Amino acid sequence: MKGDCENERYEDIQQIYWSRKWLEELGMKKEIESLESMEEILKERYGLARGRILEIAQESGLKTHFDSYFRHTASFAGLVIETYEWVKSREMYKAPMEELQERNRKLYEDIFPENYETSFGNPSYAVKVLGEGYGQLLSFLYAEVRATIAPAFEKDCEQLLIRLELFLEIYSSFRWAMEEGKERPGYEELRQIIYWFVSDYSETASKKRLREMLCPEEDFALRIIMDSDLDDLRYLYYFGEYISDNELKTANYLNGMAEEEIRRIADTYTEGYRIGFEVCNKDISKKKTVNIQYRLGFERMIRASVDNFARIGMRPTIYRAGSSILQGKSIRKRGFFGADANKQYEYDHKDDQALYLDKLYVNRKLEVMREAYENLETEAALFGGPAVAETFGEAPFMPESKEEALKLTEKQEKLEVGYMSAAGDLQNKYIKGEERSFTIIAFPVPDIGEEYEEIFHEIVKINTLDYKLYQSIQQRLIDVLDLADFVEVKGMGPNRTDLKVKLHELKNPDKETNFENCVADVNIPVGEIFTSPLLKGTNGVLHVSRVFLNGLEYKDLELTFVDGMITDYRCGNFPSEEENREYMKDNVMFRHDTLPMGEFAIGTNTLAYVTAKRYGIGDKLPILIAEKMGPHFAVGDTCYSHEEEVQTFNPDGKAIIARENEISALRNVDREKAYFNCHTDITIPYDELGGLSAVMKNGEKKTIIKEGRFVLEGCEALNLPFEEMDGV
């Protein structure tokens, strides 16, 4: 009886809440003022939701096989509620390390690999227990309830509450169905509840996300970084992320470093950002905000970097990587984040939007995003771009492809592609590509092996190489390539690469160049030259025996190009060709039917290559370093996407004219066809490279690399690390 009364009061409060939203839309301020204060309503909603969830965790109200799901999920929600109140009371800051670790484990243990086979977060298990359709939907709901961890630690009652209320609404549907003598409500009824949850709260979520990126006042993570005693590793648990040995050992290792070493690392990171503006002739003085993205454990370096950015007049924003469907969660983490409790869990839920993605929702999302940018137009103009600190070293991940996991339909894939294109254009309107920049640097984590500290030291060395030496050698490469009509690239041994890459014609070779001489600025470490090739005339096969892209492994990856566009693709990860194509379509093609070759580059950082060989870590390096270890080819947009009109010069004063291709040139006719909003680098390692030659219009061939070694005169220094490796 008590539960029924609380349900009635809960519905009354919900009515008041939605009445206020309706009145707001009508602009009826007086009527709004006559309602109870929203803060009081929020408190009462929370109290009612809290009480009902704690009851569900203890009762057995459904008398069906769905009962265990709801009790289990309510129990987890109860743990989050208790955590929220514990954080609010500030008891968290008094807790000993053991208590913090135990709570962290409890919040994430259900999806640990050893427990995942019987977790409702696993769509395969959910379907097995709850049935087809209902299993996927309720696994999605469980994942969204798991997304309450972040707002609990951020003390964000509203974001916590809306997910608890979603759970209660779905549960109530089952109760009402039972009272009507049914085992369960209709699937479409439940899907509609989720659809309107996402649609209704997309506005709040979009505005909140944009504020977190653009407004330094949203300083949840910054305050932990700047105000905590970093020698007391308890601070890592204040973020609300999963903390593994990697984060603890990384923080402990950085704490043991001399202050000058920390400064050296931070200086490389922040100077790369500053120089990125300088070399591209962009005025950094117009920018006041930088977005720092990193993995927990590096707080000492990030703190030093915040001080560095302050000296050049920039304040940081540091937002959490998305964990909720409302934040656009992805297996590609952007923001601050801890360890992955289970990468397979993240992969299984990457297409959860299949439950609700339609044209109406896409239009609504774009409308909301436009409004959010308009409200923060001033802040957007002051935003300089991201400064990213990546990590690497964990065991390579090759996901299992599950038929039970939600998947986008072909129609939804096209909607997603269209949305990404429109969203990219919208962002560029307010955060102009020709005015912003970025930087990326990478460091290993302890999982890389027993030689972690030695490897870390070597990576710091690679990240801080003398760029002037590379600059002069790379200029020698560019001088020869600027004479060429096309570049011929061939693999050796099992590598089947056979490519012809067509270059732009230089009208004034004394003042123009095709290749950018890239030193340690936006892409750290030093060591590449790159261009945007012409598509017409770029033909052949790109093949690598093994490569890691965005944290995912690919075996025997092969792309076929005709006039610069991908006409076929394959890999050898899975037993069936269908699974392999689906894997490639999702994670390399990003659901596009085709992509252009947006970049051709030659990596020159042979020290990085030899270091990877010496320590056996080639399969663990991020593309940021791997792309410097051989020629690489990017599929998707060019390196100058949305910046085609910005005039860029090399250190020798020559203007880089190869800033676009035949596809990006469509921006002046049909912007939707000009950009793909993806750019994936694929590197052929030196030991798979048979030859790379510049071929002139008269057929003369100038070999630059032969059997993995630089043979062009003036590039001898690049072979020194090879000679050291070979004991020469």
My answer on whether 382 and 473 are in the same domain is no
Which of 297-311, 401-415, 558-572, 640-654 is predicted with the least confidence, judged by mean pLDDT?
Answer: 640-654
Distance CA 493, CA 693 (A): 18
DSSP lists the bridge partners of residue 491 as: 689
Q: Which of 543, 503, 565 is nearest to 697 (CA)?
A: 503
- pLDDT at position 14 is 46
Task: Determine, yes or no, domain membership for 191.
Answer: no
Per-residue confidence band for 520, with pLDDT thresholds at 50, 70 and 90: low
Between 17 and 294, whose confidence is greater?
A: 294
Pair 529, 514: CB distance under 8 Å: no
- Tell me the Ramachandran region of residue 564: left when phi exceeds 0, alpha when psi lies from -120 to 50, beta otherwise: left
Domain end residue (candidates: 430, 457, 482): 430
Whether the CA torsion 611, 615, 621, 626 is positive or negative: it is positive
Between 486 and 433, whose confidence is greater?
A: 486
% of the chain at pLDDT higher than 70:
94
Q: How many CB atoms lie within 10 A of CB 75?
A: 15
Per-residue confidence band for 332, with pLDDT thresholds at 50, 70 and 90: confident
Pair 535, 564: CB distance under 8 Å: yes
Task: Determine, yes or no, domain membership for 208.
Answer: no
Distance CA 293, CA 222 (A): 11
Pair 42, 157: CB distance under 8 Å: yes
Give residue for tokens 């504020």: 211
Residue 659 belongs to domain spanning: 466-726
Per-residue confidence band for 568, with pLDDT thresholds at 50, 70 and 90: very high
Per-residue confidence band for 521, with pLDDT thresholds at 50, 70 and 90: low
CA dihedral (720, 722, 725, 728) in degrees, to 10, reads -60
For helices 259-279 and 452-463, give the axis angle rounded to 10 degrees. Answer: 40
- pLDDT at position 2 is 36
pLDDT above 80 for 519: no
pLDDT above 60 for 167: yes
**How confident is the model over 453-467, as a mean pLDDT?**
89
Q: Are strands 383-392 and 486-491 parallel, antiparallel or unpaired?
A: unpaired
For the record, the structure tokens of 700 come out as 């003369």
Per-residue confidence band for 593, with pLDDT thresholds at 50, 70 and 90: very high
Per-residue confidence band for 603, with pLDDT thresholds at 50, 70 and 90: very high
My answer on whether 126 and 220 are in the same domain is no
My answer on whether 264 and 395 are in the same domain is yes
Per-residue confidence band for 381, with pLDDT thresholds at 50, 70 and 90: very high
My answer on whether 225 and 355 are in the same domain is yes
Distance CA 222, CA 549 (A): 30
Whether the CA torsion 428, 429, 435, 436 is positive or negative: it is negative
- pLDDT at position 30 is 47
DSSP lists the bridge partners of residue 528 as: 518, 603
My answer on whether 103 and 156 are in the same domain is yes
Distance CA 252, CA 298 (A): 9
Task: Determine, yes or no, domain membership for 198.
Answer: no
Within 13 A of 696's CA, how many CA atoms are on the CB side? 9
How far apart, in Å, are the Cα atoms of 181 and each of 62, 88, 174, 239? 11, 42, 11, 45
The vertex-414 CA angle with 411 and 419, nearest 5°, equals 125
Q: Are strands 552-562 and 512-513 parallel, antiparallel or unpaired?
A: unpaired
Q: How many CB atoms lie within 10 A of CB 679?
A: 16
Task: Determine, yes or no, domain membership for 393.
Answer: yes
My answer on whether 177 and 222 are in the same domain is no
Task: Determine, yes or no, domain membership for 190.
Answer: no
- pLDDT at position 16 is 43
Instruction: Name the CA radius of gyration of the chain, rounded.
Output: 27
Q: Are strands 289-295 and 383-392 parallel, antiparallel or unpaired?
A: parallel
**How confident is the model over 58-86, as a mean pLDDT?**
92
**How confident is the model over 253-279, as a mean pLDDT?**
93
Collapsed DSSP state (helix, strand, coil) of residue 561? strand
My answer on whether 222 and 103 are in the same domain is no
Cis upstream peptide for 525 (omega within 30°): yes
My answer on whether 245 and 179 are in the same domain is no
Pair 110, 104: CB distance under 8 Å: no
- Exposure letters 188-200 (e unless 16+ CB within 10 A, then b): eebeebbbebbbe
My answer on whether 156 and 241 are in the same domain is no
- pLDDT at position 17 is 45
Residues sharing a CB contact under 8 Å with residue 559, sequence separation 6 or more, in sequence order:
541, 542, 543, 566, 568, 569, 635, 682
My answer on whether 489 and 567 are in the same domain is yes
How far apart, in Å, are the Cα atoms of 70 and each of 3, 62, 66, 73, 425? 16, 9, 7, 5, 42
What number of H helices and E strands is found in the chain? 25, 20
- pLDDT at position 727 is 64
My answer on whether 424 and 557 are in the same domain is no
pLDDT digits (tens, 9 = 90+) for 682-727: 999 999 999 999 999 999 999 999 999 999 999 999 999 998 887 6
How is 253-314 classified by DSSP, letter by letter? HHHTS-HHHHHHHHHHHHHHHHHHHHHTT--GGG--EEEEEEETT-HHHHHHHHHHHHHTT-
- Domain tally, the chain: 3
Domain end residue (candidates: 372, 403, 430): 430
Distance CA 690, CA 123 (A): 45
Distance CA 134, CA 142 (A): 12
My answer on whether 100 and 147 are in the same domain is yes
Between 368 and 5, whose confidence is greater?
A: 368
**How confident is the model over 149-167, as a mean pLDDT?**
95
pLDDT above 80 for 488: yes
Task: Determine, yes or no, domain membership for 173.
Answer: yes
Task: Determine, yes or no, domain membership for 329.
Answer: yes
Task: Determine, yes or no, domain membership for 454.
Answer: no
Amino acid, res. 639: C
Domain end residue (candidates: 407, 430, 453): 430
